[in-house]
Structures are given as C-alpha cells and as structure tokens.
Structure 1
Amino acid sequence: MSVTKSMTGLLGEILVAEGALDEEALVGDILPELADSAFGDATVQQLLEMTTGLAYSEDYSDPNAEIWAYNAAASPLPKPEGYSGPRTYYEYLATVQPEGEHGQVFGYKTINTDALGWVIARTTGESVTSLLSSRIWQRIGAEQDGYFTVDSIGTPFAGGGLSAGLRDMARVGQLVLSEGVINGERLFPAAAVERIRQGGDRQAFAAAGYRTLPGGSYRGMWWSLHNDHGAFAARGVHGQTIYIDPTAEMVIVRFASHPVAGNAANDPSSLPAYQAVAEYLLEKAH
C-alpha cells in the first residue's frame, strides 16, 4: 500500500540530491502532458511534500470520491461496456483539476506519488520499477523479488503497488537509517535521507489536522514525527510501517491489516509501542 510511496519518494530525493532533478522545476515543464492539469504549475518539491492544490478526495467511505474514478482508470482488467473514462494512470492524472493553492496545506493524495513516478520516469528514462530494482533492490541483498501492480499499459502503481517480503523491507529501512550505506557500500548520497529527516513544511502539515501526529511533517513521501528521537516512517493505510528511529539506531517493520483504512485508528497504540522499544534499546545499550 502506501509504504510504496516512500520508495518512490526516496528515488525522487536521490535524484534531487544527485542534481538530476530540480525540486523547483514545474511539473508541467517536465511533463507537458500535465501542463493543463492541476499539476502543471506545481513544483517537484510540492509533489514531494504533498502540498499541491488538487480537486481529489481519497475518502474510501465516500462512494462518490475521486479515488474510485482513479481506481477504475488504473485497473489492468478490460473496462466494462460503456466505460468512457481514462484508461491508465497517466490519462487520469491529466484530468485532475485544481482546488486551492499549491504550497499552502498538506493534502495526502496518492495521485501526487503517481505524478512523481511519471516525473522520475521522464527524468531518468526508466520506470519506477526499473530504477528501484537497479538502484536499490539488486544491491541490498534482497532475498525475494519485489512485485508491482500495473495498469493496462504496464505503468507501475508508484503510489501503492509494491509487494515485498518483510525482511527485505527491513533491509530498505536499514539502508535509509544508514543514510545510503549498506554492507559497506554507498548506494546514494546521504543528502537524500538528510532532507527526508529534516521534514517538510510543518505549518502546512499542521493545517491538515492530523491529531495523532502533532508537530509532524511530510517530505519525500515519508512521515516525520519530529519527536525527541527524530523518528520518521513509511506508512500504509492499514498499519503497514517502516519505522526508523535514528537515536536508538532502530528499524521496525510491520505488516498489518487493521480493519480501519486510516492510521489514526492504530496510531494511539502503535506509536507509543515503537517509542517504548526504542527506549528499551537505548537503556540496554547503556
């Protein structure tokens, strides 16, 4: 699910750190296909922090939310008779209309990550799956293949399509904790993780009203807690997590299927539990 976003965001931050991608560039300049959509005048940084102004609801309990039209476009299965909507991720992204101003308020919308995935593909000439494989997966000693769901033309679901083994996700977490180094080899600049750890616009995040993440922010498609330990995390909708605590030098990976589609339902128990493990490890180290 949305832990995938953090893999796509990490690739984006790596490209920014390496100078291959300008975070001040407008999405419409990189992708002329999106110039007339709501994404056209957003910056790459606004994509990475999800502070774009988009007319798009991701409320799974609302049958009229745009998420369902997006899902219909994304399905690799043959479209039902009479269907006249977009048929791919990219076709759907071109239809997104503006709502509000870019850069003002954090708005958690998966389509930002799919737009970033397209930016990455256009910038590098490689799909998100190809780049993730060559830059990270093949080099971390992964014990299983990773898999991505795709749309009808094979575009990977950059916003939520990755399936992978638990220990391999822990390897990714360890790579990020070590700021790009694993098994003695540097895979990408430390600046990529430093920027994620620094976090995004905390004022814009506060305006979104995430009660279980007070003082938090979002950058590079990772959630920053800005707690005393500087913890940050990749998070999926049903509780899936890569939780990184740099102070305790700790990575926790959890697979989950919490019945409520939103981390606010499990944060009150999960976040204190992660913190308690970190404090135990620090105590044991001393």
Structure 2
Amino acid sequence: MTSIPPFRDPTAPGNSLIPRQDWDRAPWNRWTFQHVIDLLPTTPVLRGAGPVSILPTDLRDIDAISFAAEGQTQTIGSFLETSYANGLLVLHSGKIVAERYLNGMTPYTQHLSQSVAKSIVGTVAGILIGRGMVDSVAPVTHYLPELEATAYRGATVQHVLDMTSGVVFDETYTTLDSHMAQLDVASGWKDRWNPNWPTNVWDLILSLKDLECPHGTSFRYRSIETDVLSFVLERAAATPLAELVSRELWVPMGAEEDAYFTVDAAGYALGDGGFNATLRDYARFALLHLRGGEIDGRRIVPTEWIAGTRFGGDPRLFGGIYQEVLPAGAYHNQFWIEDAARGVYMARGVFGQLIYIDPVADFAAVVLSSWPEFVSTARMKTTLAAVSAIRGALSLQ
C-alpha cells in the first residue's frame, strides 16, 4: 500500500520494524502509544514556569479488591495484569491513593490519549464560553464562514460540542474508505494512499457536504466534530490550539510536564485525538473537574459549565450501541455522562483510555491502555466495573 519505509522500534532489535499504516494497532501500540513523539510531527503544550499543583499521596493496597464483570470474578491485581493497562492512577479525597506504571511506562512518559483529547478541547471551550469569547448557541459559520458551503451550515457550536450536528461522518475504524480512514490520512497519522483524499484536517471538513438528519435531533459519535470545535476556538481566540490549551488550561492547572499534540501537514494540532501527557497530569485534569473547575484555589473553568456538563446532557438523544456501555448515559460538552442523575462523567478514548470523574464520591480514576482492539464493549464494561469496585472499597475506609 505504501513504499515509504516502516518505523523502527529501538527497544526491540529482533522485531524492530513497525508498519507505518498500522503503528497505532496491536501489537505495536504497546510501544507506540508511549512514543508518539518519535513517530509523528508534534507541537508542544508548554507547562510554563509557574508552580506545579501538588498531588498529596496516601497510597492504599487495592490489588485484592474483587469485582464481577462479564460473568467473571477477578481482582484489581488480575485486572491490571490482563487488561493491557499501561498506567492507573486513582484519586480520592484529593489524594493519590493508587499509582501504577506497567509495560515500561514511567511517571515521565507522555501517553497518547486518543479521544480523551476531545474532553481537553471541550474544557478549553468551556473556559472561552465562560469568558464570552465563544457563544455556544451561535452558528459555527459565525466563526468559520467557510463552512456555509458544507453540511455544517445551520449547526451551532453546541451541536458540535454535543456531536448532534447531523453531518454524515462514517466513524468506522476498520474500513479502508471510511471518513475516519480519511481523517487518519488528513491528520498525518497514516500515509496517503488515495490521491483524491484531503491532505489536511481543514480540507476534510470542507469536503463534508451531506446531512443524515436535522441538526440537534440525534447524537452520533463523530470525531471530526471536535476538530470543527477546535477551529472555532482557534478563530475566536486568534491562537493555535496547542498554545490555547497551554495558556488556558495546562499552565493555570499547574501541570508538572509539557504535553504535546500531533499536527497535520498544515500545522493543525489534532484536537480529536492527538494529545499526549503524563499520567499525573491527566490526574490533575481530573482533579480540576472534581473541584468544580478550581485547583489550588485558582478558578480555571466556570462552575456553571462544569455543572452543565454533568447534568445538561439529553439521554433522549443517546441510544443504540452507546447504551450498551452506558445504559443511563448521555453525551454533552465533549464528555460521556455515565449517570445523568448523579452527574458522573468521563473522558474516553479508543484502545482503553479513560478519565472517570465522580464528584459526589470525590473520586477519579485515570486508566491508560493499549488494547488489541479499537473498541471493546466487554473490556470497557470490565474497566468500569473495576473502577466502580475501587470507588466502593475506598468509600468504606
């Protein structure tokens, strides 16, 4: 399919070639998700020179906690051994109570977040909306008039925040000619094998001309919606996405390490899935949400936006395959809502990335993984059962 040489894995001299078109798939993702910066063009999300937010530690033994999932009973210890996890961090009452690194990952490893990146971008959107720089009910064409010639005509910023635009976008990950395959090429993640495909993400957005339903009537998971949102934020703030995330989130949050995005041929930072950061800095992001948008006494995200994210989703738009994992769920502001009544919400990404946030229990968990599959309902249910068991055990201590 391509004559361009494969990547090299310097840690595996006996099996050192990684196919360029499959670098993000098993078995190579066990290594590549921790080394994206060695494979693709990137741009930094700087932490700046400010203070690091302290994460107090009170480690507990969680390995023996048992739980049932998919007809089997196992422990957290066995889950970590069999789930293709690379990192696990648990926060309770503002402290780290568990922190594990597996598969060669270290506290300094920047791990690919996949679609957890969407919630990073969504949070920055909440900051700009709260500041009045972006109007969520305005049409996206107010910020991006070029989209008048696309199916996004008439869609609002809130529609792309909630992935309810109605634009046709085939998210199928394993089909060679899907829109998602085109996005892989446009983003620079894969080599271009079809000469008619767009060469960057903006041109891919401009090519989307068809509607499958009226805007605002149904949720469909479309990664490209986050990229439309990202361009809205860039245009409104007159700032590139990576710099915007640094200025509005990473620096004020007190991140310990720089993060980074992958970039396409035009220099666009991939908002829908190209973000990479350390386990502890993902945990700081979770703590920011647990604290209602504050960290170390600094207000970063508006309280109203956090509350609106937790409780503002419409379960009526949320059906079909999505309810297999989240039967009481919704999707709102680039977050998955596990429990629309309790306000438990999540950032999720393919291959097993998860930030789970339960403000009522003052509990959060970050799981970074390299599953063999893009999506697995069974693995996701098992992960959520494991996280729930940890939460339940901590509530009794």
TM-score by length of 1: 0.93
Residue 88 of structure 1 corresponds to which residue in structure 2?
Answer: 200
Shift of 1:39: 1.4
Please identify, of 97-106 and 155-164, the stretch whose mean Cα deviation from structure 2 is larger: 97-106
> Secondary structure of 2:325's partner?
coil
2:219 paired with 1:106:
yes
Contact kept? 1:105, 1:207, Cα under 8 Å: no
Residue 64 of structure 1 corresponds to which residue in structure 2?
Answer: 177
Distance of 2:185 and 2:347 partners within structure 1: 26
Moved over 6 A (4+): none
Distance of 2:222 and 2:268 partners within structure 1: 18
Distance of 1:227 and 1:72 partners within structure 2: 36
Please identify, of 188-197 and 45-54, the stretch whose mean Cα deviation from structure 2 is larger: 188-197
Percentage of matched positions with identical amino acids: 35
Change (3 A) 1:242 1:202: same
Change (3 A) 1:15 1:207: farther
Larger Rg: 2
Shift of 1:263: 4.8
Contact kept? 2:309, 2:332, Cα under 8 Å: yes
Residue 194 of structure 1 corresponds to which residue in structure 2?
Answer: 307
2:351 paired with 1:238:
yes
The one-character-per-residue Cα deviations of 1:64-96 (angstroms, maximum 9, x if unpaired) are 21111222222178856x824322111110111
Report the count of equivalent residues.
283
The one-character-per-residue Cα deviations of 1:18-73 (angstroms, maximum 9, x if unpaired) are 22211111112220111111112111111111011122111112222111122222
What is the letter of the counterpart of residue 197 of structure 1?
A: R
Shift of 1:111: 0.2
> Secondary structure of 1:143's partner?
coil
Distance of 1:201 and 1:16 partners within structure 2: 20
Please identify, of 95-104 and 214-223, the stretch whose mean Cα deviation from structure 2 is larger: 95-104
The one-character-per-residue Cα deviations of 1:126-151 (angstroms, maximum 9, x if unpaired) are 12211110111112232211010000
> Secondary structure of 2:323's partner?
coil
2:124 paired with 1:11:
yes
> Secondary structure of 2:356's partner?
strand
2:329 paired with 1:216:
yes
Distance of 2:156 and 2:148 partners within structure 1: 12
Shift of 1:266: 1.5
What is the letter of the counterpart of residue 279 of structure 2?
A: L
2:239 paired with 1:126:
yes
Higher helix share: 1
Contact kept? 1:105, 1:208, Cα under 8 Å: no
2:302 paired with 1:226:
no
2:355 paired with 1:248:
no
Please identify, of 21-30 and 143-152, the stretch whose mean Cα deviation from structure 2 is larger: 21-30
What is the letter of the counterpart of residue 126 of structure 2?
A: E
TM-score by length of 2: 0.68
What is the letter of the counterpart of residue 109 of structure 1?
A: R
The one-character-per-residue Cα deviations of 1:148-207 (angstroms, maximum 9, x if unpaired) are 000012110010010100000000110111112111211232112111111422101125
Q: Which has the higher contact order (CA 8 A, sep 6+)?
A: 2
Structure 2: gaps (5+ residues): 1-113
Distance of 2:378 and 2:348 partners within structure 1: 13
Structure 1: gaps (5+ residues): none
Please identify, of 228-237 and 205-214, the stretch whose mean Cα deviation from structure 2 is larger: 205-214
Distance of 1:46 and 1:280 partners within structure 2: 38
Query: Pick from 247, 260, 280: which aligns with 1:147?
Result: 260
Change (3 A) 1:156 1:215: same
Please identify, of 45-54 and 183-192, the stretch whose mean Cα deviation from structure 2 is larger: 183-192
Contact kept? 2:346, 2:355, Cα under 8 Å: yes
Tell me how large the CA RMSD over aligned residues is.
1.8
2:250 paired with 1:137:
yes
What is the letter of the counterpart of residue 4 of structure 1?
A: A
